[in-house]
Amino acid sequence: MLKFIAKRVLFLIPIMLGVMVIVFAIRAITPGNPVDSLLSEDATEEQRAELTAELGLDQPLPVQFVRYVGDAITGDLGTSYTTKQPVLQELLTRLPISLIVCFGAVAIGVLLGVPLGTLSAVKQYSWTDSVVRILSMVFAATPQFCLGLVLIMVFSVQLHWLPSVGLSGPASFILPMATIGLSSLAQYTRITRSSMLEVIRQDYIRTARAKGQTEFAITTRHALRNAFIPIMSQIGNQVGHQLGGALIVENVFGMPGVGKYIGDAITARNFPAIQGGVLMLALIFTIVNLLVDLSFAFINPRLKSSIMNSKAGPIEKWWKARRKKTADVA
Amino acid sequence: MAEHKDTPIVEVENLTVHYETDDGIVEAVNNVSFHIDKGEVLGLVGETGAGKTTIALSLMKLLPVPPSHVVSGTVRLDGQDVGVLNEHHMRRLRGSTVSMIFQDPMTALNPVKYVGDQIAEVILLHDKCSKKDAMLKACEMMKTVGITPERYKEYPHQFSGGMKQRIVIAIALACQPELLIADEPTTALDVTIQAQVLEMMKDLQRERGMAMLMITHDLGIVAEMCDKCAIIYAGEIVEYGTLEHIFDHPLHPYTVGLMESIPSLDKDVERLKPIPGLMIDPTNLPQHCSFCERCARKCARCEQDDPALVEVEPGHWVKCFCAGKEDA
């Protein structure tokens, strides 16, 4: 198992390098010089040249890239053009907000979507099924900003239950979470429904019925766990979408999260902030998907044993040989 | 054996089951009646699509409700009419009074649960006992079917097909059912494993004196295991009797055809002798005898009327106009 985890963690390296190439290319390809956005229009040529050298922009692109990667690995994501603060620090203060909203939204989506999807599958073609499907499609078809505004209208303006904008305590998180969670609801209900429909037609469900098991236990204990693999993959994908796509929702609710940070950086041509933000999101996305992959091993024992019995690759062979050698010496 | 006058464990009377599909009504089971006494083994023989599994599932009231539809007839399990029992009562019968072994052991076990727990589950449902006792009983059952209890915490994919079928059998027998329905229990296994599994089932059946409904298309299994045999064609019983009746003097042309299609070891024949033609379309059953299109001995009457199942000698029933007339 450890071997498998190590292998998957090593896999992150080429993925992150790939992301860095793209992120770096954003700046290299985009027309316009960051120097122009940093200095006022009446700056002298000397000042310009000085700043260009300071930012390393006079170097050839490959050199710039290598320097960028080196800095990123050591945790230096550059300095924000607008605030003159280290980008990493700025991101880290905003990240928890985005993560809370994102995982809260996933929790809402899963906790509502999986039971509703299951209900929909068990009562296929009934009116319950139709209501669930229509409801989740309505949420999916409504743009997030629109859904967010409706929720503000109802829960903040009319009912005065929850704050509408800004960050003023835990209650402020509820509406953004609900907005993203509800708009992703359809994804979870649909995938749960189709996965469950497949599972409840399996022979082992009939075996469970032949044992005299109740329908509730059959659905929850026998079927749901088998249906969960596609649902887990969906969770992995959703986390990625929601982290990146939180931009609009964070703007609607005035949440100072990573999405809003990147959005502001784009308008200000603040390249280090854009690059740093994208890199951070990519890293989180890959880590979440790694966790999702690992969870498969616990959901599906067949995968677990194939992971356990997977053949040793060259690195593991080398590592084993090394360990054996040190053991021999000792 | 049939002498003692207990209520039979199963009594099926005039059972008719249809499947209502978009392409029409499939008449899967038509007016089938039979009974199994306690401790008796009945073989149900027929080709694929003859309605064998439908009969088995209707005994347990496990037919998927749409599309299936029990048109008429009654099924009595241990004297209780299954048709009027509610789900709650049925659940109590399933797994304890009547249990079932399914055709394909590869898919009959839940892939994400320990095999031991799958046996313990049925014990926990029907015997009033603690979880620990249920696990101990499950281990006992594993021993009974010849699997070491050390493998309790293993998953179905770690077992071979024959071993999985042993687990399925252990699940079915865990609560000492009075009737075991075995739906082609060895069809998915290879021949050597088939023999082992059948041997084991036979021993367990004799040991526990339980009744059994053996569904198969293999007459060899019937000869080996059963007391009585019903031959089924297009959802109807065409011949019913003891093994001697069916094997030594079969009367229905279909039974005769089945017997002739068994390859013989001591005769050197070039080709097998099949029954000509294909199984009739169950969505479009004729008013007359459903076997007449494939029948070598049909007469004019066969193409007009549907024969009734008549008792030609004590305990031997045949559904054919011509049976016994030109029996050579």
The mean pLDDT value for A312-322 works out to 65
Minimal CA separation from B82 to chain A, in Å: 14
pLDDT above 70 covers a percentage of chain A that reads: 93
pLDDT tens, position by position, A185-232: 888 999 999 999 999 888 899 999 998 888 899 998 889 988 988 888
Minimal CA separation from B299 to chain A, in Å: 44
What CATH number did the domain enclosing A291 receive? 1.10.3720.10
B-contacting residues of A 206-235, CB under 8 Å? 206-214, 222, 225-226
Instruction: Residue A222: name the closest of A253, A193, A201, A239 by CA.
Output: A201
Task: State the amino acid at position A21 in one-letter form.
Answer: V
Q: Which residues of B touch A202 (CB under 8 A)?
A: 107
Judgement on whether residues A175 and A280 belong to the same structural domain of the protein: yes
In a domain, A293, yes or no: yes
Q: Which residues of A touch B108 (CB under 8 A)?
A: 203-204, 206-207
* Pairwise CB contact (< 8 Å): B112 & A301: yes
* Pairwise CB contact (< 8 Å): A207 & B96: no
The mean pLDDT value for A39-49 works out to 77
Judgement on whether residues A212 and A103 belong to the same structural domain of the protein: yes
Residue A28 lies in domain:
2-73
Q: What is the pLDDT of residue B2?
A: 43
* Pairwise CB contact (< 8 Å): B110 & A208: yes
Under DSSP, the state recorded for B292 is: G
In a domain, A240, yes or no: yes
Q: Chain A residue with minimal CA distance to B108?
A: A204
Q: pLDDT-derived band of residue A310, with 50, 70 and 90 as boundaries? A: low
Record the tokens describing residue A24, joined without a space: 């770096």
pLDDT tens, position by position, A156-194: 888 888 887 777 778 888 888 888 888 888 889 999 999
* Pairwise CB contact (< 8 Å): A207 & B110: yes
In a domain, A329, yes or no: no
Cβ–Cβ < 8 Å for B176, B143: no
Q: What is the pLDDT of residue A319?
A: 66
Judgement on whether residues A104 and A238 belong to the same structural domain of the protein: yes
A309 — contact with chain B (CB < 8 Å)? no
Of A43, A73, A103, the one marking the end of a domain is: A73
Record the tokens describing residue B58, joined without a space: 């209707």
Instruction: Residue B181: name the closest of B152, B210, B156, B154 by CA.
Output: B210
Judgement on whether residues A41 and A160 belong to the same structural domain of the protein: no
Judgement on whether residues A61 and A184 belong to the same structural domain of the protein: no
Q: What angle do CA A233, A25, A282 make, to 5 degrees?
A: 25
Record the tokens describing residue B206, joined without a space: 């004799």
Q: Chain B residue with minimal CA distance to A207?
A: B108
Cβ–Cβ < 8 Å for B318, B239: yes
User: CA-to-CA distance for B145 and B148, rounded, in angstroms?
Assistant: 9
pLDDT above 90 covers a percentage of chain A that reads: 12
In this structure, the number of other CB atoms found within 10 A of the CB of residue B315 comes to: 13
* Pairwise CB contact (< 8 Å): A302 & B60: no
Residue A309 has pLDDT above 80, yes or no: no
- Length of chain A measured in residues: 330
Across chain A, mean pLDDT equals 84
Best residue of A211, A222, A305 to probe chain B, by most B CBs closer than 10 Å: A211
Residue indicated by tokens 């299994």: B221
Residue B240, by phi and psi: left (phi above 0), alpha (psi -120 to 50) or beta? beta
Task: State the amino acid at position B133 in one-letter form.
Answer: D
Q: Which residues of A touch B111 (CB under 8 A)?
A: 204, 226, 300-302
pLDDT tens, position by position, A108-138: 999 999 999 999 998 888 899 999 999 888 9
B91 — contact with chain A (CB < 8 Å)? yes
Judgement on whether residues A65 and A166 belong to the same structural domain of the protein: no
Q: What is the pLDDT of residue B275?
A: 81
Domains: count for chain A: 2
Q: What is the pLDDT of residue A315?
A: 61
User: CA-to-CA distance for B177 and B126, rounded, in angstroms?
Assistant: 11
In a domain, A323, yes or no: no
Task: Specify the pTM.
Answer: 0.79
* Pairwise CB contact (< 8 Å): A207 & B171: yes
* Pairwise CB contact (< 8 Å): A305 & B157: yes
Q: Which residues pair with B147 in a beta bridge?
A: none
User: CA-to-CA distance for B229 and B311, rounded, in angstroms?
Assistant: 14
* Pairwise CB contact (< 8 Å): A211 & B125: yes
Judgement on whether residues A232 and A303 belong to the same structural domain of the protein: yes
Judgement on whether residues A160 and A29 belong to the same structural domain of the protein: no
> Residue ranges per domain, chain B?
245-328
* Pairwise CB contact (< 8 Å): A300 & B112: yes
pLDDT tens, position by position, B97-142: 899 998 888 889 998 889 999 999 999 888 888 888 999 999 988 9
Name the residue among A204, A212, A299 with its Cβ closest to that of B94. A212
In a domain, A120, yes or no: yes
Judgement on whether residues A104 and A142 belong to the same structural domain of the protein: yes
Query: In tens digits, what is the pLDDT along chain B, a chain of 328 residues?
Result: 444 457 888 888 888 888 888 888 888 888 888 888 888 899 998 888 788 888 888 888 888 877 888 888 888 888 888 888 888 888 888 888 899 998 888 889 998 889 999 999 999 888 888 888 999 999 988 988 888 888 998 889 889 888 898 899 899 888 888 899 998 888 878 888 888 888 888 888 888 889 999 998 888 888 888 899 999 988 888 888 888 888 888 888 888 888 888 877 777 777 777 887 777 777 778 777 888 778 777 777 777 778 878 888 888 888 888 776 654 3
User: CA-to-CA distance for B313 and B326, rounded, in angstroms?
Assistant: 16
User: CA-to-CA distance for A34 and A51, rounded, in angstroms?
Assistant: 10
Minimal CA separation from A194 to chain B, in Å: 19
Record the tokens describing residue A22, joined without a space: 């793209």
Cβ–Cβ < 8 Å for A297, A303: yes
Judgement on whether residues A119 and A40 belong to the same structural domain of the protein: no
In a domain, A325, yes or no: no
Q: Which residues of B touch A209 (CB under 8 A)?
A: 62, 94
Identify each DSSP E strand in chain B by its residue range: 10-21, 24-36, 41-45, 68-77, 80-81, 98-101, 179-183, 211-216, 228-233, 236-242, 310-313, 316-318
Judgement on whether residues A9 and A123 belong to the same structural domain of the protein: no
* Interface size between A and B, measured as CB pairs under 8 A: 71
Task: State the amino acid at position B171 in one-letter form.
Answer: I
* Pairwise CB contact (< 8 Å): B94 & A300: no
pLDDT tens, position by position, A55-97: 777 788 888 888 888 888 888 888 888 888 888 988 898 888 8
Q: What angle do CA A199, A121, A237 make, to 5 degrees?
A: 75
In a domain, A145, yes or no: yes
Q: pLDDT-derived band of residue A268, with 50, 70 and 90 as boundaries? A: confident
In a domain, A174, yes or no: yes
Q: Which residues of B touch A300 (CB under 8 A)?
A: 111-112
Judgement on whether residues A146 and A63 belong to the same structural domain of the protein: no
Name the residue among A202, A222, A225 with its Cβ closest to that of B107. A202
